[in-house]
């Protein structure tokens, strides 16, 4: 990860010793620290206070997230429709071998099944990016989440060596291959998504780009939970990425908020990948493609694993609404912001970040003044 992107995380250290590291498998009851007083399923932030309809819906819906076959000749139109109406879709025929998906899944399982003391040897440091720990968004919520995570930006070797001093090479090989393949797929998906907005490669200038588009891997583990209705796997959030590609094992848990309808479960489809619009694509598209609010719920019997590939632009490139999408009747809604700067704002203001880079000066100041963190 380019150092300047990691600066976005480092400027707001997360103090993990405030957070409880649990040995989830040994617990027969949900501890108070993890029991959400109101149903956690009703607890979610409003991403964009200007848009209150999203915040009004707390119910669930049986509607299904679109599934798109990338080999379908109508894939471009389907992607456009899904991004505009959902901010998320599933893809099949994406070119990633099922065997690689299975390998990365078992690498994740191997990691999370280690004894807690061993995992803590690779704990993410308070101002660090990579390693084992609780979700970064934990500090914004009064209760802990029923999950553990492992973040990898850059080479996995340093962290993997701490976990398995004598046998880390297989883990690293799998992760590195997964990173390479995901980066390629993410690039392809980004141009497909932009293509669906009528944007070609020559329409976009990545000003002053130093370095490459890049990504990181977030492994998430959600152990079976003795009291799932009072627990939260991962609280509602949007991703601070251009886009995220998520592989989930055969256990459901991911839910996305469909505006006007409620929370829709993203049913796992063997071999398929979930693609969601992140905050930076929301900005590039001038709000046409919404960054989707999503969360993970847990269940009583099955362990769930998910692997997110978090894709973003070169750290120093200002991201702003694309010129082709703005005009006299469509003024730009967001100011330019680099990935590093955006991560910094998100680390400090979480769900208010997108509203804070929105071009409404007086409104943003009011938001900052009312910041309740």
Ligand X SMILES: O=C(O)CCC(=O)C(=O)O
Interacting residues with ligand X (CB under 6 A): 218, 220, 234, 239, 246, 248, 253-254, 294, 296, 306, 308
Nearer to Fe ion, 181 or 239 (CB): 239
**265-324 binders of Fe ion (CB under 5 A):** none
Partner interacting with residue 281 (select from Fe ion, ligand X, none; CB below 5-8 Å by kind) = none
**Pick from Fe ion, ligand X, none: which does 306 bind, CB < 5 to 8 A by kind?**
ligand X
Closest by CA to 45, choosing from 235, 239, 297, is: 235
Of 159 and 218, the one with the shorter C-beta distance to ligand X is 218
For the bound state, the minimum distance from the C-beta of residue 234 to Fe ion, rounded and expressed in Å, comes to 7
Q: What's the per-residue H, E or C state across the chain?
A: CCHHHHHHHHCCCCCHHHCCCCCHHHCCCCCHHHCCCCCHHHCCCCCCCCCCHHHHCCCEECCCCCEEECCCCCHHHHHHHHHHHCCEEEEECCCCCHHHHHHHHHHHHHHHCCCHHHHHCCECCCCCCCEEECCHHHHHCCCCCCCEEEEECCCCHHHHHHHCCCCCHHHHHHHHHHHHHHHHHHHHHHHHHHHCCCCCHHHCCCCCCCCCCEEEEEEEEECCCCCHHHCCCEEEECCCCCEEEEEECCCCCEEEEECCCEEEECCCCCCCEEEEECHHHHHHCCCCCCCCCEEECCCCCCCEEEEEEEEECCCCCCECCCHHHCECCECCCECCECHHHHHHHHHHHHHHHHHHCECCHHHHHHHHHCCCC
**Catalytic site residue 304?**
yes
Complex with ligand X: residue 308 or 333, whichever CB lies closer: 308
Binding mask 222-261 for Fe ion (x = CB under 5 A): -----------------x----------------------
Give least dist CB 21 to ligand X, A.
18
- Of 111 and 307, CB closest to Fe ion: 307
Q: Choosing from 136, 230, 304, 358, which is the catalytic residue?
A: 304
Number of chain residues interacting with Fe ion (CB under 5 A)? 1
Q: Using CB distances below 5 to 8 A depending on partner kind, what does residue 296 bind out of ligand X, Fe ion, none? A: ligand X
Residue among 12 and 324 whose Cβ is closer to ligand X = 12
Least Cβ distance, residue 331 to ligand X (angstroms):
31
What are the backbone angles phi and psi of residue 227, rounded to the nearest 5°? -145, 70
In the complex, least distance from residue 204 CB atom to ligand X, rounded to whole angstroms: 25
Selection from ligand X, Fe ion, none that 236 binds (CB < 5 to 8 A by kind) is none
Residue 6 partner contact from Fe ion, ligand X, none using kind-dependent CB cut-offs of 5 to 8 Å: none
Q: CB 151 → Fe ion: shortest distance, Å?
A: 12
The minimum distance between CB 304 and ligand X, in angstroms, equals 7
Contacts with Fe ion, residue ranges (CB under 5 A): 239
Residue positions annotated with a catalytic role: 304
């Amino acid at each position: 990860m380019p150092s300047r992107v990691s600066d976005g995380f480092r400027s707001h250290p997360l103090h993990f010793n405030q957070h409880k590291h649990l040995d989830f498998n040994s617990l027969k009851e949900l501890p108070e620290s993890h029991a959400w007083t109101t149903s956690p399923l009703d607890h979610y932030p409003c991403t964009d206070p200007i848009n209150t309809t999203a915040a009004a819906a707390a119910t669930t819906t049986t509607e299904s997230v679109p599934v798109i076959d990338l080999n379908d000749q109508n894939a471009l139109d389907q992607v456009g429709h899904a991004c505009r109406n959902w901010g998320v879709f599933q893809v099949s025929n994406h070119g990633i071998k099922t065997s690689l998906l299975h390998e990365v899944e078992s690498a994740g399982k191997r990691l999370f099944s280690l004894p807690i003391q061993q995992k803590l040897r690779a704990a993410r440091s308070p101002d660090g990016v990579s390693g084992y720990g609780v979700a970064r968004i934990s500090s914004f919520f009064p209760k802990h989440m029923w999950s553990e995570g492992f973040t990898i930006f850059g080479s996995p070797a340093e962290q993997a060596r701490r976990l398995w001093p004598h046998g880390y090479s297989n883990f690293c090989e799998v992760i590195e291959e997964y990173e390479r393949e995901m980066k390629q797929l993410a690039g392809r998906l980004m141009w497909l998504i932009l293509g669906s907005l009528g944007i070609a490669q020559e329409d976009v200038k990545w000003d002053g780009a130093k370095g490459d588009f890049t990504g990181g891997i977030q492994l998430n583990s959600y152990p079976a939970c003795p009291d799932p209705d009072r627990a939260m796997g991962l609280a509602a959030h949007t991703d601070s990425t251009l886009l995220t590609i998520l592989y989930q094992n055969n256990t459901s848990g991911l839910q996305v908020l469909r505006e006007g309808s409620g929370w829709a479960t993203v049913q796992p489809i063997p071999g398929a990948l979930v693609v969601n619009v992140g905050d930076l694509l929301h900005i590039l598209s001038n709000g046409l493609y919404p960054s989707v609010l999503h969360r993970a719920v847990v269940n009583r019997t099955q362990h769930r694993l998910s692997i997110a590939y978090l894709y973003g632009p070169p750290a120093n490139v200002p991201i702003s609404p694309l010129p082709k999408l703005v005009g006299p009747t469509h003024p730009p809604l967001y100011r330019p912001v680099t990935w590093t700067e955006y991560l910094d704002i998100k680390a400090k203001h979480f769900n208010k970040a997108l509203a804070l880079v929105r071009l409404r000066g007086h409104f943003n100041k009011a938001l900052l003044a009312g910041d309740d963190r």
